[in-house]
Structure 1
Amino acid sequence: MKKAIILLVSCLFIFSACSEPEETVESDDTKQVEEDEAETEETEWWKTDVASYTLHDLPRDLEELEQELIVEAGLYSGDNYDVTAAKELLDQLPEDLAEEELETAILQLIREDYHAEVETFVTFDPTVDISVDRPDEELEEPSEDMATSTSHFAILLDASGSMNNTSDGTTRMELAKEAIGNFIDILPENSTVSLRVYGHEGTGSDDDKKLSCSSTESLYNGEMNEKEFMKALQAVQPAGWTPIANALEESEKDIPENSSTAIVYVVSDGIETCDGDPVKVAEQLNQKGVQPIINIIGFQVDDEAQELLKQVAEAGKGEFTYAGNKQDLEDYWKEEYDRLQEAWEAWQQEGMKRANELSQQLMKQADETGYAIMEKSDLEFRRAEELINYLTTNRNMENADNLWSLFYERSTTIWSYGYNNQTENWGAAYENGNAAWRYFYETGTEKWTEYYNKMN
């Protein structure tokens, strides 16, 4: 009995020991099969999916061809081309591989990278948008808004009693009115003008000081109607004190909301006599709205008044001009005219230069992008030819016989895409550049001529 138990245990031990190698052999076989399958899959490189480049913020969906052109570049594309290594990979292809798979395999080796060029053409904007500050208004490339954007000229005329003083038999007021009349005749056609008087009520007596110092009135405001403007101007008569600060403060109301720029001309024969602070008011006014520039014309003023009026002009970011007589006033307005004439010419030249530069830049970009696509398509086709020839001649693969036609059609299609986009975008940039150039040329010439004819 004891021997029987020992024998049974021994058999169980032997059975157990004998069964373990069988399980190990089965596990190793399975593992080997899996490794062989994995190795086989790794060698079938032509079946690997190829990713595409990601393009962001495109203005439209990509066309079918463009989607093909953003597929990532082949292993031996561009400067990485290695014909020997490529042929070694082709040797791994089964002899009966289908034509479509052969085409895919070759592309995975030599497909060129077109994604940057595609992105350039899809996002290409041939607009020649030039912004140059006009002498009398801010503008962007000609637009509908331009019709509602104007320059405003605000004339503030001193109607204090001292304007009744005479010079060469003519009162200062009469000389000022004549000079102002000549000035409005040369204002830009798209501008507006206002006429405000101050100190025109009461008298120069102390009793009337309060009345006179509070007197300022807008007599004309709007588009230029010379007859109506001169009618309002001629009605002004010298009367009382000189409230320059009050007039400047009220002149803010004269500037239309749609004005793009404004220039305030203060015509005065003396300093503030109403206890106001015209320097402070001028500085404040210059910081409001369109930040009007304040020019002061001192009419037959003494040295002390000149110095004080200069401070007002400086506070308003403008200039002070001394006018001793009628000729001085006329010369001043002509200088203003010459300044505008020169400014328009400078504006014209700068606009034409920028339009030409931007247009040339866009045309160059269209050219370079188109040529890059065409050159890459040619390069890709030449390399495809070389590999196709290897498959047909060295490996005698019948399914490769029609590959030449497929790659020729692909090359032609891609080449045409580059050429057509190059031509279209180059032409659009050229036309838009010409249009912008003509706008600056014609507008500048028109304004320059307008001022020249008015002055002469």
Structure 2
Amino acid sequence: MKKVIILLFSSIVLAAGCGEEEPAETDKKEPVEKEETVETNWWEEEAETYQLADLPRELEGLEQELVIKEGMYSGDNYDVAAAKEKLNELPVDVNEEELESAILQLIREDYHQEVETFVTFDPTVQIDQDSPNEEVEKPTAETAMSTTHFAILLDASGSMNAESDGTSRMELAKEAINDFIEILPENSTVSLRVYGHEGTGTDEDKEKSCKSTETLYNGEMDQKEFSNALEGVTPAGWTPIANALKESEKDIPDAASNAIVYVVSDGIETCDGDTVAEAEQLNKQGVEPIINIIGFQVDDEAQKLLKQVAEAGQGEFTYAGNKQDLDDYWQKEYDRMQSAWEEWQREGMKKADEISKELMEQADKTGKSIMDKSDLEFKRAEELIDYLTSELEMANADNLWSKFYERSTSIWSYGYDNQTKNWGEAYENGNDAWRYFYETGNEKWTEYYNKMN
């Protein structure tokens, strides 16, 4: 059976080879057409463009031209002999537009980085520098925002009725606090919390008095309203300092970047609270308050305990045995703030000068780079145009000099105009920032100086 099959197949093949029958339609093969490939001459090729991302605006007409990629013999790669060899490949009858394209394909300079710098250039002189009691988010002459909160905790326990030289401790405390709030920075916020102001100093009233703490004022500084609230405080019961420290966290606005807590007291905790622990806990909060404690005529043991509370809050304890001691304390505070504002002013003016100078140098350098490249590109174009007209005698090259001169002038002007504009804006903005720090620093320094004298 196997042989029969083979012989049959052979006969079919032979019959087909005799040409007596037409081959089946499915056996026909269609001829494959070859695709014609048209080679583009190098001077006719479309130049590639640098893609600049995240620009604040669309590129203008000339800028679009300036981000086209550089020619094969641009910059330090310039080789006049090699460039002329490439020009020898041009047909004698090539038109003016193609001649211009050919020269640019050879010697076009790379301007894309300079264009990107000018398009994204921001002449703003912005200085992120915290003031002693205010955070300057955008320090211009028009705006400055305080984010510091001053929380004053006043002891209203019964012992504040005690007198010294005919004046009660409470009266001394009120006078000192009123003097202090007069020199707080503009736009700062302040709160007044009292504690121990309810009940009496008796054992029967201890629980009531130890729970007593109340915020009498909280908000932007209004000296009249604050003083009115302070005036109504009357000494009464026990001394719950720990409770007052714990509750004072509620007085600090969420927007405050820092807070200073002043505790004015004539004694230690008498309500069994852990004042050191509360001071530590308060200090761990995001605003990291500084706790300054002023103690009136307290004994050695009380001084020691109050000092521990102050240290736990990263603050300080000041002993005020009389009005003069208290006045001396505030004088030191004024002096500290005066010095801090002076340093703030000095650093701000220095930064304003540095940032402004850096921006002006960037504007100057970028503009100069564009102008230099424009001059160099035109000089090389002149050399190649002369070769086309003099050596190759191409009639269509006669008007190229005018075209490249116009191109060079436009590019040079672009560099110069942007250099001048950006340099001037950086200079003016630097002056504005410098003046802001200078004038504000002088104003604050004078304010504290007047308080000290």
Residue 329 of structure 1 corresponds to which residue in structure 2? Answer: 326
From 115, 121, 136, the equivalent of 1:124 is: 121
- Mapping 1:410-429, distance limit 5 Å: 410-429=407-426
Report what 1:63 is aligned to.
60
| Equivalence map 1:96-107=2 (5 Å) | 96-107=93-104
CA distance in 2 between partners of 1:374 and 1:147 (Å): 40
Alignment partner for residue 358 of structure 1, among 352, 355, 373? 355
Instruction: Tell me the equivalent position of 2:251.
Output: 254
CA drift of 1:121 comes to 0.9
**Does 2:338 correspond to 1:341?**
yes
Kindly state the Cα deviation for residue 274 of structure 1 after the two structures are TM-superposed.
0.3
Tell me whether 446-455 or 68-77 shows the greater mean CA deviation.
446-455
Amino acid in the other structure paired with 2:239 = T
Map Cα deviations across residues 5-25 of structure 1 (whole Å, 9 max, x no partner).
Answer: xxxxxxx9xxxxxxxxxxxxx
Distance 1:254 1:82 in 2: 75
SS at match of 2:235: coil
Map 1:114-193 onto structure 2 (within 5 A): 114-142=111-139, 149-193=146-190
Residue of structure 1 aligned with 2:277, choices 258, 280, 286: 280
User: 1:143 Cα deviation (Å)?
Assistant: 7.5
Evaluate the alpha carbon distance shift between residue 321 and residue 90 of structure 1 in structure 2; reply closer, same or farther with a 3 A threshold. same
The alpha-carbon deviation at position 250 of structure 1 amounts to 2.2
Equivalence for 1:392? 389
| Alpha-carbon distance in structure 2 between the residues aligned to 1:126 and 1:186 | 35
The amino acid of 2:76's aligned partner reads D
Q: Single out whichever of 252-261 and 262-271 deviates more from structure 2.
A: 252-261
Say whether residues 1:88 and 2:85 are aligned partners.
Answer: yes
CA offsets 1:384-426 (integer angstroms, 9 cap, x no match): 1111111111111111111111111111111111111111111
Q: Is the 8 A contact 1:182 1:330 kept in 2?
A: no
Q: Distance in 2 between matches of 1:72 and 1:188?
A: 56
Shift of 1:342: 1.5
Task: Give the length in aligned residue pairs.
Answer: 425
TM-score by length of 1: 0.86
CA distance in 1, matches of 2:221, 2:46: 74
Distance 1:440 1:379 in 2: 44
**Range moving further from structure 2, 94-103 or 172-181:** 172-181
Q: Structure 1 pair 257/88, CA: closer, same or farther in 2 (3 Å)?
A: closer
- Looking at structure 2, the residues matched to 455 and 297 of structure 1 have their Cα atoms a distance apart, in angstroms, of 19
Measured in 2, the distance between the counterparts of 1:412 and 1:126 equals 26
Residue 431 (structure 1) aligns with: 428
Contact between 1:296 and 1:309, CA under 8 Å: does it hold in 2? yes
AA aligned opposite 1:271: I
Match of 1:294 in 2: 291
Once the two structures are TM-superposed, the CA of residue 296 in structure 1 deviates from its matched residue by: 0.9
Alignment-mate amino acid for residue 285 of structure 1: L
* Alignment check: 8 A CA contact 2:381 2:404 kept: yes
Task: Return the alpha-carbon distance in structure 1 between the equivalents of residues 100 and 225 of structure 2.
Answer: 84
Distance 2:143 2:249 in 1: 23
CA contact (8 A) 1:137 1:261 kept: no
Identity percentage of aligned residues: 75
Deviation at 1:452, TM superposition (A): 2.1
Matched, 1:314 2:311: yes
Q: Which residue does the alignment assign to 1:403?
A: 400
8 Å contact 2:50–2:67 — kept in the other structure?
yes
Asked if structure 1 preserves the Cα contact closer than 8 Å seen for 2:374 and 2:412, the reply is: yes
Gaps in structure 1 of 5+ consecutive residues: 1-11, 13-30
Judged with a 3 Å threshold, the aligned counterparts in structure 2 of structure 1 residues 48 and 231 are, in CA distance, closer, same or farther, namely closer
- Do 1:186 and 1:455's aligned partners in 2 also have CA atoms closer than 8 Å? no
Change (3 A) 1:55 1:264: same
Q: Is the 8 A contact 1:149 1:258 kept in 2?
A: no
Per the TM alignment, residue 288 of structure 1 is displaced from its structure 2 partner at its CA by 3.5
C-alpha contact (below 8 Å) 2:368/2:416 kept by paired residues: yes
Q: Cα–Cα, structure 1 residues 102 and 147, in superposed 2: closer, same or farther, change >3 Å?
A: closer
Distance 1:435 1:239 in 2: 54
Instruction: Give the aligned partner of residue 453 of structure 1.
Output: 450
Q: Which amino acid aligns with 1:106?
A: I
Amino acid at match of 1:46: W
Contact in 2 for aligned 1:74/1:108 (Cα 8 Å): yes
- Partners of 1:356 and 1:83 in 2: how far apart? 46
Deviation at 1:52, TM superposition (A): 1.2
Shift of 1:144: 12
User: Residue type of the partner of 2:421?
Assistant: E
| Worse-matched range after superposition: 181-190 or 435-444 | 181-190
Residues 4-15 of structure 1 mapped to structure 2, 5 A cutoff = none
Amino acid of the residue matched to residue 204 of structure 1? G
Q: How far apart, CA to CA, are the structure 2 residues paired with 1:65 and 1:339?
A: 57
Tell me, yes or no, if the aligned pair for 2:160 and 2:169 is still in contact at 8 Å. yes
Aligned to 1:266: 263
Question: Quick check: 2:74–2:106 contact (8 Å CA) kept in 1?
Answer: yes
Change (3 A) 1:87 1:158: same
Structure 1 equivalent of residue 107 of structure 2? 110
Q: SS where residue 196 of structure 1 aligns?
A: strand
Equivalent of 1:196 in 193, 197, 205: 193
Deviation readout 1:185-230 (Å, 9 max, x if unpaired):
3333433333222222233222221122112223333444444444
Give the CA RMSD over aligned residues.
2.8
Distance across 2 between alignment mates of 1:225 and 1:123:
44
Aligned in 2, Cα 1:221/1:54: closer, same or farther, shift over 3 Å?
closer
Q: Quick check: 1:199–1:242 contact (8 Å CA) kept in 2?
A: yes
1:9 is matched with which residue? none
How far off its partner does 1:428 sit? 1.3
